[in-house]
Chain A
């Protein structure tokens, strides 16, 4: 069965700092990759997704992620965070079938 690992459970940083969240998955076949964000008290929203093509994917709110197949990784990045980026971020993988497998999430706190 596939699994998804997010290395950091909590990240605290200041506004304007750069953010990178790690995500690794275990599945040898073709995958679809997603990053979802959950703002405090809200539901999950899609940040970006990768299905095929350019491994560098740009999403909403200045986020991007890079798919590195050889490393089974799909790390999320943002060059300069804002206080409003405080949220929990989930990496998710869809392999065969339609089941999304989520990572454990990373709570990001941006200090103003």
Chain B
């Protein structure tokens, strides 16, 4: 299995632009998670999905952030408009089921908003 796939790996954009991050979970995994990692705040859970349905988005910082999962093999995290404080590494993770399941992380997207 290729593991969790994220694209792009690096993104540099200007303030005000729309940014779309993409994630392909491991095939057969029912749960998908989006995390943000910054020096100041560490690793934070933004949102997670179960069977393509958003379950908990309490970690999404503000309305500029949105996430979708149109099917079991694809999810997007969108920031519109982007701001410099959104600069971070965004990780996607997936897990097989609830309960005693390990989350498998993708390589991350390193976002820099100028």
Contacts and interface: CB of A to CB of B under 8 A. Distances in A.
B88 interface: no
Given A51-B100, A98-B98, A102-B42, A43 B107 contact: yes
Interface in A35-64: 36, 42-46, 49, 51
B108 interface: yes
B42 A98 contact: no
B59 to A, nearest CB: 8
B91 A44 contact: yes
Interface in A19-42: 32, 34, 36, 42
Contacts of B108: 43
Interface of B is mostly: strand
B42 A34 contact: no
A36 B95 CA distance: 15
B106 A98 contact: no
- Chain B interface residue number, banded: 20 to 34
B91 A98 contact: no
Nearest to B95: A98
Nearest to B102: A46
A2 B61 CA distance: 19
Contacts of B104: 46
A98 B102 contact: no
Contacts of B103: 100
Interface stretch (B14-22, B43-51, B67-75, B78-86): B43-51
B105 A43 contact: yes
A65 to B, nearest CB: 14
Contacts of A32: 100
Interface string A91-112: 0000001111111110000000
A105 B43 contact: yes
Interface of B: 31, 33, 42-45, 48, 50, 55-56, 91, 93, 95, 98, 100, 102-108
Interface of A: 32, 34, 36, 42-46, 49, 51, 90, 97-105
